[in-house]
Amino acid sequence: MTEASLRSTSSFVTRLVLKNRFSYATANRFTGVEYRFVIAYAGDFNYRGELPLEAMSSCAFSASTLRETLQNHEPISRKPSVFRKNCISVDVSHLKLTWHNAMTWKQTGSRLKCRALDVENNRAFLKGELFQLDDVIEAQQFDREILSAIFEVAREMETIEKKSRGNQILKGYLMATLFYEPSTRTRLSFESAMKRLGGEVLTTENAREFSSAAKGETLEDTIRTVEGYSDIIVMRHFESGAARRAASTANIPVINAGDGPGQHPTQALLDVYTIEREIGKLDGIKVGLVGDLANGRTVRSLAYLLAKYNDVKIYFVSPEVVKMKDDIKEYLTSKGIKWEESADLMEVASKCDVVYQTRIQRERFGERVDLYDEARGKYIVNHDVLSVMQKHAVVMHPLPRLDEITVEVDEDPRAAYFRQAKNGLFIRMALLKLLLLGW
Amino acid sequence: MKSGTWRFLVSFIPLLIYLLYILYSDFSSPKPTTSGCSLLPHQHYWIVSKRIVTPHEIISGAVEINGGSIISLVKEKDWLEKVKNEPVIDYGEAVVMPGLIDVHAHLDDPGRAEWEGFPSGTMAAAAGGITTLIDMPLNSFPSTVSEETLQLKIEAAKGSIFVNVGFWGGLVPENAFNASVLENLLNAGVLGLKSFMCPSGINDFPMTDASHIKEGISVLAKYKRPLLVHAEKVQEIELKDGDDDPRSYSTYLKTRPSSWEEAAIRELLTVSKDTRIGGPAEGAHLHIVHLSDSSSSLELIKEAKSNGDSITVETCPHYLAFTAEDIPDGDTRFKCSPPIRDAPNRQKLWEALMDGDIDMLSSDHSPSVPELKLFTEGDFLRAWGGISSLQFVLPVTWSYGLKYGVTLEKLVSWWSEKPAKLASQDLKGAIEIGKHADIVVWEPEKEFDLDENHTVHLKHPSISAYMGSRLTGRVVATFVNGNLVFEDGKHTPDACGTTILA
């Protein structure tokens, strides 16, 4: 398959591949080396019946291997990564199908296409390897490969959480939540994550009022003391950059649970994870960011992460006074991500796959309370907005919400914000496991 | 009937009851089997030791064996309760390990049984803790290159082997392009094929090159069996004329430099990429035997592995024990090919072995009659090349490995686990429930001298390069398929080892 043709079809394949992919592992029986593959099929999606294996043998993958793996395999993950050139496959569409069910699908009529997916073998995310990052400080640390790998782990965490009581992978580990600013939701989420995995928690929400802080102890000294008492630190601080300072001082992993107006990486991760879970893909989506875009750290991190994917379009919907700042806009343009500013929420909502609503803070408007009231009115997500949204689209919100999403929206299955919060638990469980134990 | 007769008959009832009781207790108590296959009269028994090497950890406890398989494993405090009426053999501090699997031995039977033979070879193996041998297709006569020649070997092995023996077939130019002959050979049960990239020294086993090997592995891919390759390729060497003393080892070493190994491996790697996943020979596997050069050849192999080629490599204890500098003049017991190289090479071999770049060990037991070794002339250039070592590989690996940090787990990996994978023997190579009861019991701390007082079961002990050395590690007992085949210097009267066919 020539490279030119590969490129021209690759975007088509990538889109399919992201949506419907099974990966499986096989091991060389003589050397014990494991190989992971992804099965992707580019063809028509009407199937029930039998897989025509003879057609597959014309592809670079040997028919006998495919037959074996189809029989023996269990879907392990949907990792979009990395496997050798010349390895392709058959994309099976319905994710819920196990391989046994999949054997009974047939292809109606047309073409069976084989595509060679051209990526290199990457052993970095295989079981047993160390996590690539020492700390989680900002969204900028993540690229799409590591993101998908983390999402796989979060997916596994979902099943752990359901079975709950009994998972002990972090037994014996201590997490210290060092919060200089109150935050019930994030703190409880981290603490739950740690305890669900069998670990223990040392917690404080009033670190600012501590006698040591009041006496003027530096952050660095506090970190050096606390790291002696725990295995991992989760910190929220009111100053931007505090997390980086903590991470450079500490010898144990540090997770940034929000530092001032700067970064809140776990929120960004859980937002992207939620989009992937709800929509099924991250390439080729349209996202509407609504509300306070100038000051909201969540939308800024989200825009940053979305730029890592292909064919994404972002709509910025906000009052003039809190428009998205230019730095993010320039960054998006430089990455080839299309964005558009609009004042019309209804129009944007009808086009988007995700409507990400955020709270407009009254304080930002100063004395212009009239402008504030007007703004609030225009950008409320209510039943009318829901009615123009597409069937598969979702509404997200980092919470807490006041009235920018009306309560009537909660019943609609497209209201994803509480599921989003739950995903926060899984992402945080995944990060704790990765930082403390590795892949 | 008269009452007197009746009473007379009734008086026999207690006697009848007594006889029935004897018969009943005879049936129910475990009858000891007196078969010549095992020194132990039991089929169901326990082995107890403070050091049992299992795949995950070394435990102190007991292994339950019944009918030739391991049926359970218990740790220390539990074992006393679990054992009911079965006999228990307590080996105390001795180490209980999976039996060694030697994937490279020349037993020379049939045809050259005066060089070794199945009986003496397998007795020596049992005395050395080796429970499975895979016999090479050459040095026996005729070489095992077809179904018919394999059948001759299987016939010769019947009733003469004390341990389990499997067979490698030969890949030679005659059968390389003849897929049906190869397929018949593979169907007949060889565990894989062997080929030489340089002259083998045996007339009916000629050498092959990359084109034959490519054909061979495409057939092997269907069977998912390996090809073992003697990787040395004859290169032009500048022979300095004149006074090169043939009694000096360095003369011989110069005639077979490491560039031979490197060239062969380079050629081999042009076809090994077919074994990658997605390649035309996927499922086949290449295994380079007795690697001696630990510099450029090893680097080439490491690179091929990282590219995904299905390739493994072995070395032998003699390359790890001896160095070229220490070989005395005229002592042709040390001649083999590829040759034993210098001390820095040996150091790198050990490092590669400890790091896992060299996958496993084998003996390359390659004996001959003493006359061919030319002891009187001591001519390294004309003597038969081959190290005889089958009985000693375990103590040799342990003794010479101690200063490099060898551990029991590593020994098991090099001598049992990895060889079992190569020979596709899933039920061998580890002490785990369900696996065959092939076990060696030995004392790693016991030292002994390999002198005339030590019984050597090989046919020709005098040709072994290890004679006269002091080794650490004494084999106490060897179990094959649950039968106690060797203990305290004695073997079973009968040779009940089984032939392993794929």
Tens of pLDDT, residues A289-316: 998 888 777 888 888 899 888 889 999 9
Q: Is the pLDDT of residue A391 over 70?
A: yes
Q: Choose among A30, A62, A64: nearest Cβ to B421.
A: A30
The type of residue at A352 is: C
- Taking CB atoms and an 8 Å cutoff, what residues of chain A touch B421? 29-32
Compare all CA atoms of chain A with the CA of B224 and give the residue at the minimum distance: A29
Q: Does the distance separating the beta carbons of A26 and B278 come in below 8 Å?
A: no
The bridge status of strand B490-491 relative to strand B499-500 is unpaired
Q: Residues B208-246, buried b or exposed e (16+ Cβ, 10 A)? A: bbbebbbbbbbbbbebbbbbbbbbbbeeeeeeeeeeeeb
Taking only the tens place, the pLDDT of each residue in B235-267 is 887 766 666 788 999 999 999 999 999 999 999
Span B220-249, mean pLDDT? 85
Q: Does the distance separating the beta carbons of A121 and B285 come in below 8 Å?
A: no
A438: confidence class by pLDDT, cuts 50, 70, 90 = confident
Given this model, what pLDDT does residue A77 score? 30
Token output for A186: 């994030």
Token output for A99: 């391989």
Q: Does B312 touch chain A (CB under 8 A)?
A: yes
Q: Is the peptide bond before B142 cis (omega within 30 degrees of 0)?
A: yes
- Taking CB atoms and an 8 Å cutoff, what residues of chain A touch B282? 62, 65
Q: Residues A217-227, buried b or exposed e (16+ Cβ, 10 A)? A: eebeebbeebb
Q: Is the pLDDT of residue A60 over 90?
A: no
Span A367-390, mean pLDDT? 83
Compare all CA atoms of chain B with the CA of A35 and give the residue at the minimum distance: B277
Given this model, what pLDDT does residue A431 score? 93
Q: Which helix (H) or strand (E) holds B339?
A: none
Q: Does B359 touch chain A (CB under 8 A)?
A: yes
Span B268-278, mean pLDDT? 86
- Taking CB atoms and an 8 Å cutoff, what residues of chain A touch B226? 30
Compare all CA atoms of chain B with the CA of A62 and give the residue at the minimum distance: B278
pTM of the model: 0.59
- Helix residue spans in B362-417 (DSSP H): 393-401, 408-412
- Taking CB atoms and an 8 Å cutoff, what residues of chain A touch B225? none
Closest CA to A431 of A112, A156, A246: A156
Compare all CA atoms of chain B with the CA of A60 and give the residue at the minimum distance: B278
Q: Choose among B278, B311, B424: nearest Cβ to A60.
A: B278
Strand stretches in B173-244, DSSP E: 193-196, 226-230
Q: 3-state class of B78 per DSSP?
A: helix
Q: Which residue ranges make up each domain of chain B?
A: 99-425+445-469
User: Active site includes A236?
Assistant: yes
B85: confidence class by pLDDT, cuts 50, 70, 90 = confident
The nearest CA of chain A is from the CA of B323 a distance in Å of: 29
The nearest CA of chain B is from the CA of A32 a distance in Å of: 9
Question: Which one from A127, A162, A163, A215 is the annotated catalytic residue?
Answer: A215
Taking only the tens place, the pLDDT of each residue in A260-292 is 777 788 999 999 999 988 888 888 899 999 988
CA atoms in the 13 A half-sphere facing the CB of A135: 21
Q: Does the distance separating the beta carbons of B359 and A31 come in below 8 Å?
A: yes
- Taking CB atoms and an 8 Å cutoff, what residues of chain A touch B311? 31
User: Active site includes A215?
Assistant: yes
Q: Choose among B282, B305, B359: nearest Cβ to A65.
A: B282
Q: Range with the lowest mean pLDDT among A186-190, A210-214, A290-294?
A: A210-214
Task: Give the mutation candidate from A23, A26, A28, A30 for the B interface (greatest B CB count, under 10 A).
Answer: A30
Q: Is the pLDDT of residue B277 over 50?
A: yes
Three-point CA angle B75, B80, B86, nearest 5°: 110
Compare all CA atoms of chain A with the CA of B281 and give the residue at the minimum distance: A62
Taking only the tens place, the pLDDT of each residue in B313-324 is 999 999 999 999
Residue owning tokens 């008492």: A229
DSSP secondary structure letter of residue B454: S
Task: Give the mutation candidate from B223, B277, B413 for the A interface (greatest A CB count, under 10 A).
Answer: B277
Given this model, what pLDDT does residue A360 score? 82
Question: Which one from A21, A187, A196, A264 is the annotated catalytic residue?
Answer: A264
Q: Choose among B279, B280, B285: nearest Cβ to A30.
A: B285
Token output for B260: 């031979």
CATH class given for the domain over B99-425+445-469? alpha beta
Q: Is the pLDDT of residue A403 over 60?
A: yes
Q: 3-state class of A34 per DSSP?
A: strand
Q: Does the distance separating the beta carbons of B422 and A30 come in below 8 Å?
A: yes
Assess contact for B45 and B82: CB atoms under 8 A. Answer: no
Question: Which one from A73, A236, A277, A433 is the annotated catalytic residue?
Answer: A236
Q: Choose among B277, B280, B311: nearest Cβ to A84.
A: B277
Taking only the tens place, the pLDDT of each residue in B403-419 is 999 999 999 999 999 99
Euclidean distance between CA atoms A20 and A43, whole angstroms = 12
The nearest CA of chain B is from the CA of A62 a distance in Å of: 6
User: Active site includes A186?
Assistant: yes
Rg (CA), chain B: 26
Q: Range with the lowest mean pLDDT among A111-125, B191-205, B268-282, B445-459?
A: A111-125
User: Percentage of chain B with pLDDT > 90?
Assistant: 72
This model of the complex carries an ipTM of 0.72
Q: Is the peptide bond before B280 cis (omega within 30 degrees of 0)?
A: no
Is B172 exposed, middle or buried, given 0-12, 13-18 or 19+ CB atoms closer than 10 A? buried
Closest CA to B501 of B33, B117, B147, B70: B147
Given this model, what pLDDT does residue A163 score? 60
Token output for A397: 């919100």
Q: Choose among B276, B282, B312: nearest Cβ to A30.
A: B312
Compare all CA atoms of chain A with the CA of B221 and give the residue at the minimum distance: A64
Q: Is the pLDDT of residue A16 over 50?
A: no
The nearest CA of chain A is from the CA of B132 a distance in Å of: 18
Interfacial residues of A (vs B; Cβ cutoff 8 Å): 26, 28-33, 35, 37, 60-62, 64-65, 84, 86-87, 121
Better-predicted residue by pLDDT, A119 or A123: A123
Q: Does the distance separating the beta carbons of B283 and A86 come in below 8 Å?
A: no
The nearest CA of chain A is from the CA of B312 a distance in Å of: 7
The sign one gets for the Cα dihedral B389, B392, B397, B403 is negative
- Taking CB atoms and an 8 Å cutoff, what residues of chain B touch A33? 305, 308
Span B127-136, mean pLDDT? 95
The nearest CA of chain B is from the CA of A435 a distance in Å of: 25
Euclidean distance between CA atoms B422 and B425, whole angstroms = 8
The dihedral over CA atoms of A242, A248, A250, A251, expressed in degrees to the nearest 10, equals: 160
Taking only the tens place, the pLDDT of each residue in A310-336 is 889 999 998 887 888 888 888 888 888
Q: Residues A13-51, buried b or exposed e (16+ Cβ, 10 A)? A: bbbbbbbbbbbbebebebbeeebbbbbbbbbeeebeeeb
Euclidean distance between CA atoms B161 and B125, whole angstroms = 10
Q: Range with the lowest mean pLDDT among A9-23, A58-72, A194-208, B369-383?
A: A9-23
**Averaged pLDDT of chain A:** 72
User: Active site includes A264?
Assistant: yes
Token output for B115: 């060089």
The nearest CA of chain B is from the CA of A201 a distance in Å of: 32
Cβ under 8 Å to A: B residues 252-291:
276-280, 282-283, 285, 287
Q: Choose among B226, B282, B308: nearest Cβ to A30.
A: B226
- Taking CB atoms and an 8 Å cutoff, what residues of chain B touch A31? 285, 305, 310-312, 359, 421
Given this model, what pLDDT does residue B30 score? 52
Given this model, what pLDDT does residue A85 score? 29
Better-predicted residue by pLDDT, A306 or A54: A306
Assess contact for B364 and B105: CB atoms under 8 A. Answer: yes
Span B21-25, mean pLDDT? 76
Span A378-389, mean pLDDT? 88
Compare all CA atoms of chain B with the CA of A66 and give the residue at the minimum distance: B278
Given this model, what pLDDT does residue A127 score? 62
Q: Which helix (H) or strand (E) holds B26?
A: helix B13-28
Span B442-454, mean pLDDT? 91
Token output for A318: 């906000």
Q: Does the distance separating the beta carbons of B277 and A26 come in below 8 Å?
A: yes
Q: What are phi and psi of A234, to 5 degrees?
A: -115, 120
Q: Does the distance separating the beta carbons of A29 and B422 come in below 8 Å?
A: no
